[in-house]
DNA sequence: TTGATATCATTTGCATACGAATGAGTTTTC
DNA sequence: GAAAACTCATTCGTATGCAAATGATATCAA
């Protein structure tokens, strides 16, 4: 191989073209898979509630009664999505709705007694889910990962 | 406040019970938000194709003709989901379907000329999307993050 | 060879997820 | 105080994502 060929090869290696795009190495693709794995772990522990439904209950426990819209902001769900989630929780008697007396646009959401019981009972399970999701990492790796993931979210 | 009260308070603080579950610090919740952010970045760059549709085209470019099921395995989609994705790509003329001659159960999928053009044209955009998604991290952090994320996925 | 098992694809049902449009009510601004 | 701008909630349409059931075909094992 001539010196020119070597130079050419170096240039090719250092300037990857379209041939080198590997789907399975892209953040988006791996992020999607990691999320899928988490959802599967969640479902294995808590079969009768989805992660978004759990998030809604957990946040209501934190903040108490709020408007549907505000709740959506707190759990990163758009208005259309949060409505569906709350509808299903209401149908199961875990939350109750009421109208804001002053601002008539707002729909207030709150836990029912049953909803409060449910979320208190589920929180230990949720800790377990977090633990299992992070199980492939060492304690130190967990700290690092959470710090970096938070920067991306 | 009595000494006993102080002791009680300390115990409560140092042995977090259910009161201390913070949704916004759980992996699953942040993972969901990071994924949402990535999808938004994707949509801003590539408006007429979703990440799963892109993944299907990119993988077909890598491996050439495969069965629908096999493609699903390669891009981490279950059979029901991959069918919908392929249906929509077919309706747009980006992939074509044919029957496997030997194994009559299999439905073969391949890029059309148009599909191949599309994916080649989109790959530079996809690099940009990956770059923008990872923009909050330094080069060193990216390396660390990708290594740990891969362990979780 | 045939009966049990496994695989591939499809369909149905349910649950996010989000853009866009709409209607009702509130706040701002001039 | 009236018009403009904004906010809250709802609805519609489209696209994942997965469990479960089904039908067609292949493969394995007795």
At A8 the pLDDT is 45
Mean pLDDT of A51-78: 98
* Among the ranges given (B12-26, B85-99, B102-116), the one the predictor scored with the smallest mean pLDDT: B12-26
At B7 the pLDDT is 44
Q: Could you tell me where the beta strands, DSSP code E, fall in chain B?
A: 66-67, 95-99, 107-111
Using pLDDT thresholds of 50, 70 and 90, give the confidence band for residue B74: very high
Please write the tens of the pLDDT for every residue from A83-129.
999 999 999 999 999 999 999 999 999 999 999 999 999 999 999 99
Q: Is the pLDDT of residue A69 over 70?
A: yes
CA atom of B73 to C1′ atom of C1, Å = 34
| Residues B86, B89: Cα–Cα separation, whole Å | 5
What is the CATH architecture assignment of B50-153?
Orthogonal Bundle (1.10)
CA atom of A34 to C1′ atom of D23, Å = 33
DSSP B94: S
Which of B15, B25, B27, B142 is the best substitution to test chain A (most A C-beta atoms within 10 A)? B27
Mean pLDDT of B75-80: 98
| Residues A19, A25: Cα–Cα separation, whole Å | 14
Report the chain B residue with the minimal C-alpha distance to residue A58: B23
At B81 the pLDDT is 98
Put simply, the chain B residues between 80 and 119 with a CB less than 8 A from any chain A CB are: none
Please write the tens of the pLDDT for every residue from B8-18.
444 444 455 54
Q: Please report which helix (H) or strand (E) contains residue A107, including its range.
A: strand A107-111
Mean pLDDT of B98-113: 97
* Count of C-beta atoms within a 10 Å radius of residue A72: 22
Q: Is the pLDDT of residue B38 over 90?
A: yes
Question: Taking phi first (over 0 means left), then psi (-120 to 50 degrees means alpha), and beta for anything else, what does residue B76 get?
Answer: left
| B122 contacts chain A (CB < 8 A) | no
Report the chain A residue with the minimal C-alpha distance to residue B120: A18
At B17 the pLDDT is 52
CA atom of A60 to C1′ atom of C13, Å = 29
At B12 the pLDDT is 45
Class of domain A23-152: mainly alpha
Cβ A149 vs Cβ B145: under 8 Å: yes
Cβ A106 vs Cβ A67: under 8 Å: yes
At B11 the pLDDT is 46
């Amino acid at each position: 191989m001539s010196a020119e060929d070597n130079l050419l090869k170096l240039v090719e290696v250092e300037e990857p073209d379209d041939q080198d795009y590997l789907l399975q190495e892209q953040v988006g693709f791996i992020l999607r898979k990691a999320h899928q794995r988490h959802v599967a772990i969640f479902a294995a522990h808590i079969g009768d509630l989805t992660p978004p439904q759990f998030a809604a209950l957990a946040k209501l426990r934190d903040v108490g009664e709020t408007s549907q819209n505000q709740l959506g902001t707190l759990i990163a769900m758009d208005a259309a999505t949060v409505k569906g989630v709350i509808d299903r929780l209401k149908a199961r008697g875990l939350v109750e709705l009421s109208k804001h007396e002053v601002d008539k646009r707002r729909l207030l959401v709150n836990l029912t007694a049953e909803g409060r019981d449910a979320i208190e009972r589920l929180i230990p399970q949720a800790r377990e889910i977090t633990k299992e999701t992070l199980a492939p990492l060492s304690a130190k790796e967990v700290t690092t990962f959470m710090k970096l993931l938070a920067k991306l979210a």
